[in-house]
Amino acid sequence: MPPPTVPFFLTSTTLTPTTKKPQPPPPPCDAQAQAAAAASQASAASASYAARMRLNPHLALRLFDHLLRSGADPDPAAYALALASCARGRDRAAAAQLHAHAAKRGVLASHRRVRGRLVHAYAVCGMLPHARRVFDGGTDNDMFAWNCLLRGYAREGGDADALHDFFARMPSRDSISWNTVLSWCVANGEYGEAIVVFREMLVSQECQPDRVTLVSVVSATAYLGAFALGLWAHAYVIRKGVEVDEKLSSALINMYSKCGFVEGAVYVFENTAVKMSLDTWNAMLVGFTANGCSARALELFTRMESKGLVPNKITFNSIVNACSHGGLVDEGIRYFERMSRVYGIEPDIAHYGCMVDLFSRAGLFEKAGEIIQIMPMEPDASMLKALLGACRTHKNLELGKKVGHRLIEAAPNDHAGYVLLSNIYALDGDWGGVHKVRKLMLDHGVLKIPGSSSVELNGVIHEFISGDKSHSRKRDIYKMLSEICQQLKNTGYTPDTSQVLLDIDDEDVKESSLALHSEKLAIAFGLISTAPGTPIRVVNNLRICGDCHHAIKLLSKIYRRSIIVRDANRFHHFREGSCSCGDYWVKSSI
């Protein structure tokens, strides 16, 4: 809801509510009379209206306006309450007006609580320079003001250096200060940094980490796929008796899911004593879906409904995707229809995208086309990507070429369209087409993203890129790699060079470029640095390529290891020569 451009308390002379939906509890039945009463009793009375003012920001500002109009001299508490309302209603203009009043009456200089609230209001309204000026006008700022300003620096689009600088200059930091920085790290993709900051927090001994701290830390380990760190964080929670509420339990479920350890997620889900929110259920559902446990996802959905929980958009997105993954076309249609019929949720583009994915993955391209026809919006790039991927899998070359060109038009800077389209031409044996696409890609200045894979060992993350020679154990790794290649050849495996899209004519070079894919390097490293039988967990930045997928299936059998690869968006649990994805998610190399 956009904030009104002019504050109510300066423009309106009546007290007719302008908000369509007053927040519960309802506003007082006779607001006008109360406001008049408030005005007549002047500042002494303002505190007695505190409770009511807190409930409704707009009313609070109107009451304050009446105080001013009556010529009263509002006390600091009245300013503080009115400013809190500005903060809640994100009312920039009102904050500025109150600032002017408070400054004129000298309240600002003498009352740090008023100053703190003003810093707060400006910070949450995205007016950092204003917040800074008010803050700098005081000499006795409290932790509240410091933390509010810190939050202002941590806002979206803020300057990271300025944030860190301000944090470092704080005279002292409490858990809220640390948590503000940690959540900034997670929100800005600085997951490794989050771990570093958390370590600094522990070392500083300034304060105890709490459940909010742990949400950020656990989430960072989830993104990194840093399983040992994630386990350590969960152990820390248990050891220190950190309270696990529904947000922390969701984060833990998410962490175990994103590390490919579904049973860990289930453990947290089933054993968390707190009342679980819909988000907790959704986290578990997403965990099952991403790990290819379609049947368990469907069961969980049934359990949700029998408990009387009301599923939301995310629930349906996830459940339709579980159907898509499991090839359960009819069930997917049923859930999609149930969403709007039973729960009144209008499908958004993501839901239509899931349906296109569901149909096209199953080879039902006419059905996928119907969805695109009936939906009230234009297909987006991700929908075209799903469709195009399926065209490749099902060798629907004619449709694939059309969709491919459309995708490149829609997302010219995304390498996915070029890669998929050139795969389609390659399948058709149309090498001229392949080269044209490659040229198009170069013309647009689109770069291939280098593949990278990481393995965690004793809490340290070892990252490899294709053909990487920088690791300290590179000699051992490459020795292992050539042993691996030999073992693979003994089983009759031949490298699948058909979709290597480099401009390479020499088959040998193509083969060796495949052999040096980052996931193979990571697995070679995993095999030589962990005890026999230990599962190897690999985190990939891209989708796994078809050749690696085939090779890793064999390796899991040859070396009797379970190998868990987290891809750009899914998991592959390799065990005894097969993969949990049922070969449904394999993509070509790039």
Q: Exposed, middle or buried, 367 (CB in 10 Å: 0-12/13-18/19+)?
A: middle
Which two tokens mark 491?
Answer: 């089983």
Residue 291 makes contact with DNA by CB under 7 A:
no
- Rg (alpha carbons) of the chain, rounded to whole number: 29
Can you list the alpha helix ranges (DSSP code H) found in 327-454?
329-343, 349-361, 365-374, 381-393, 397-410, 415-427, 431-443
For DNA, the closer CB: 561 or 572 = 572
Return the number of other C-beta atoms located less than 10 Å from residue 411's C-beta: 18
Under 8 Å between Cβ of 338 and 353: no
Among 132, 133, 313, 415, which residue interacts with DNA (rule: CB under 7 A)?
313
Return the number of other C-beta atoms located less than 10 Å from residue 5's C-beta: 9
Contact region for DNA (CB under 7 A) — 248-256, 259-267, 494-502, 518-526? 248-256
Provide, rounded to whole angstroms, the least separation between the CB of residue 307 and DNA: 17
Residue 581 makes contact with DNA by CB under 7 A:
no
Angle CA(413)–CA(416)–CA(417) in degrees, nearest 5? 80
For DNA, the closer CB: 382 or 452 = 382
**Residue 275 dihedral angles phi and psi, to the nearest 5°:** -65, 125
For DNA, the closer CB: 97 or 321 = 321
Among 15, 38, 67, 84, which residue interacts with DNA (rule: CB under 7 A)?
84
Provide, rounded to whole angstroms, the least separation between the CB of residue 545 and DNA: 14
Among 272, 291, 324, 518, which residue interacts with DNA (rule: CB under 7 A)?
324
Instruction: Please tell me the distance from the alpha carbon of residue 84 to that of residue 90, in angstroms, as a whole number.
Output: 10
Residue 293 makes contact with DNA by CB under 7 A:
no
Q: Are strands 563-566 and 578-579 parallel, antiparallel or unpaired?
A: unpaired
Instruction: Please tell me the distance from the alpha carbon of residue 570 to that of residue 581, in angstroms, as a whole number.
Output: 9
Each residue 126-155 as x (binds DNA by CB under 7 A) or -, in order, gives ----------------xxx--xx--x----
Half-sphere exposure of 390 (CA within 13 A, CB side): 27
Residue 187 makes contact with DNA by CB under 7 A:
yes
Residue 381 makes contact with DNA by CB under 7 A:
yes
Instruction: Please tell me the distance from the alpha carbon of residue 191 to that of residue 185, in angstroms, as a whole number.
Output: 6
Instruction: Please tell me the distance from the alpha carbon of residue 87 to that of residue 62, in angstroms, as a whole number.
Output: 15
Among 56, 141, 382, 518, which residue interacts with DNA (rule: CB under 7 A)?
382
Provide, rounded to whole angstroms, the least separation between the CB of residue 376 and DNA: 16
148: amino acid identity, one letter:
C
Contact region for DNA (CB under 7 A) — 93-101, 351-359, 487-495, 503-511? 351-359
DSSP state of 419: H
DSSP state of 13: S
256: amino acid identity, one letter:
Y
Provide, rounded to whole angstroms, the least separation between the CB of residue 314 and DNA: 4
Each residue 421-460 as x (binds DNA by CB under 7 A) or -, in order, gives ----------------------------------------
Among 12, 41, 70, 175, which residue interacts with DNA (rule: CB under 7 A)?
175
Which two tokens mark 23?
Answer: 């927040």
Q: Calculate the CA 556 to chain-centre distance.
A: 31
DSSP state of 563: E
Among 179, 453, 466, 556, which residue interacts with DNA (rule: CB under 7 A)?
179
Residue 420 makes contact with DNA by CB under 7 A:
no
Q: How many residues bind DNA (CB under 7 A)?
A: 67
Among 272, 291, 294, 317, which residue interacts with DNA (rule: CB under 7 A)?
317
335: amino acid identity, one letter:
Y
Which is it for the CA torsion 281, 284, 288, 291, positive or negative? positive
Q: Calculate the CA 401 to chain-centre distance.
A: 32
Residue 188 makes contact with DNA by CB under 7 A:
no
**What Å distances lie between residue 529 and 3, 41, 296, 357, 535, CA to CA?**
58, 77, 34, 39, 12
Residue 250 makes contact with DNA by CB under 7 A:
yes
Residue 265 makes contact with DNA by CB under 7 A:
no
Residue 345 makes contact with DNA by CB under 7 A:
no
For DNA, the closer CB: 54 or 132 = 54
Residue 272 makes contact with DNA by CB under 7 A:
no
Contact region for DNA (CB under 7 A) — 159-167, 296-304, 319-327, 511-519? 319-327
Q: Is the peptide bond before 4 cis (omega within 30 degrees of 0)?
A: no
Contact region for DNA (CB under 7 A) — 212-220, 434-442, 449-457, 551-559? 212-220
Residue 222 makes contact with DNA by CB under 7 A:
yes
Residue 318 makes contact with DNA by CB under 7 A:
yes
Residue 248 makes contact with DNA by CB under 7 A:
yes
Instruction: Please tell me the distance from the alpha carbon of residue 194 to that of residue 251, in angstroms, as a whole number.
Output: 15
For DNA, the closer CB: 72 or 215 = 215
Q: Exposed, middle or buried, 19 (CB in 10 Å: 0-12/13-18/19+)?
A: middle
Provide, rounded to whole angstroms, the least separation between the CB of residue 171 and DNA: 13
Contact region for DNA (CB under 7 A) — 133-141, 170-178, 455-463, 544-552? 170-178
Kindly list the residues in this chain that would bind DNA in the complex (CB under 7 A). Answer: 51, 54, 84, 113, 116-117, 120, 124, 142-144, 147-148, 151, 174-176, 179-180, 183, 186-187, 210-213, 215-216, 219, 222-223, 245-248, 250-251, 254, 277, 279-280, 282-283, 286, 289-290, 313-314, 317-318, 321, 324-325, 349-350, 353-354, 357, 380-383, 385-386, 389, 569-570
